[in-house]
Amino acid sequence: MALRHVDFDTFSFKSVMAVLSAIAIVLLIAPSLIVVIVSFTSAYSLRFPPPGFSFRWYVALSQDWQLQFAAWNSVKVALAATILSVVLGVGAALAIARSRSLAGKIADQLFMSPLVLPALAFGLASLMFFSVLGVPVSLTTLIIGHTVVIVPYVIRNTVAALTQLNTALLESSASLGASRFYTFRKITLPLIRPGILSGGFICFMSSFDNVPVSLFLRDAATDMLPIRMWQNLEGNLDVTIAAVSGVLIAFTIALMLLMERLTGFSRRLA
């Protein structure tokens, strides 16, 4: 009887988790799926279901130079901020992961603080900081602001990868006379590469989609895609924004497949 009771409890738990997982998947996928369907509408307004299907809004998107300009700015800022975050984050992760001192713990909390501070508060504080220094907002200030916000993702993922690193490999390399740089390049870096790549992927997507920091640290010459999309929707329900969303969804899926190809996370979890 006790065994049957345990089996029933296990079955109930798995059933509840399966239902909750299905609801979560639907809530996550359904809005994106609706946006993609609406992006092919033949109507002049956002409504679901669409009265007909057409590629007219994707054609209009290819002719909208303002959205293209904003998208190119977002790509440039995201790429630059991601590269800076990877370089700075990997260096910080190496120091933090190997440190057991109080200073290492304080540095870890300091680097993680941008994730705790509200993004709007950080954006306003950054604007005031650059104003005090007499630095006008530009592409450079955007890259700096985005780097500060996204670098914790690289640090956290790299530290997680370093904690799984077998220290015996490093000790063997040192005992054979290899330098620290050679050991890092030939042993440490290849083994922690999945963590670095996953952190870089999260950084790029977070920077590309960032609104609060971009809202305060941009000017007319550095228009960003998320803000331009919001401004276009604010005045009227522009269907072109649905087409932009469709492109972004396809772009995100392509990046996810590329990351899976490079890191093989599903094979590691299997």
On whether the CB atoms of residues 38 and 239 are closer than 8 A, the answer is: yes
pLDDT tens digit string along 91-138? 888 888 776 777 767 777 777 777 777 888 888 888 888 888 888 888
Q: What is the pLDDT of residue 9?
A: 57
pTM of the full structure: 0.79
Task: Give just the sign of the alpha carbon dihedral 124, 128, 131, 135.
Answer: negative
Q: What is the DSSP letter of 53?
A: B
- Residue 2 scores a pLDDT above 50: no
In this predicted model, which residue has the larger pLDDT, 207 or 6? 207
pLDDT tens digit string along 147-202? 988 888 888 888 888 887 777 777 777 777 777 777 777 877 788 888 888 888 88
pLDDT tens digit string along 69-88? 888 888 888 999 999 999 98
Residue 73, token pair as written in the block: 């700015």
Tell me the domains of the chain and their CATH numbers: 73-222 (1.10.3720.10)
256 to 26, 82, 241, 253, 264: CA distances (angstroms): 19, 16, 22, 5, 11
- Residue 35 scores a pLDDT above 70: yes
145-178: b or e for each residue (b if 16 or more CB lie within 10 Å)?
Answer: bbbbbbbbbbbbbbbebbeeeeeeebeebeeeeb
- Residue 270 scores a pLDDT above 80: no
At residue 264 the predicted structure's pLDDT band, cuts being 50, 70 and 90, is low
Q: At 90, phi and psi to the nearest 5?
A: -65, -45
On whether the CB atoms of residues 227 and 70 are closer than 8 A, the answer is: yes
Q: At 41, phi and psi to the nearest 5?
A: -70, 155
Q: What is the pLDDT of residue 269?
A: 45
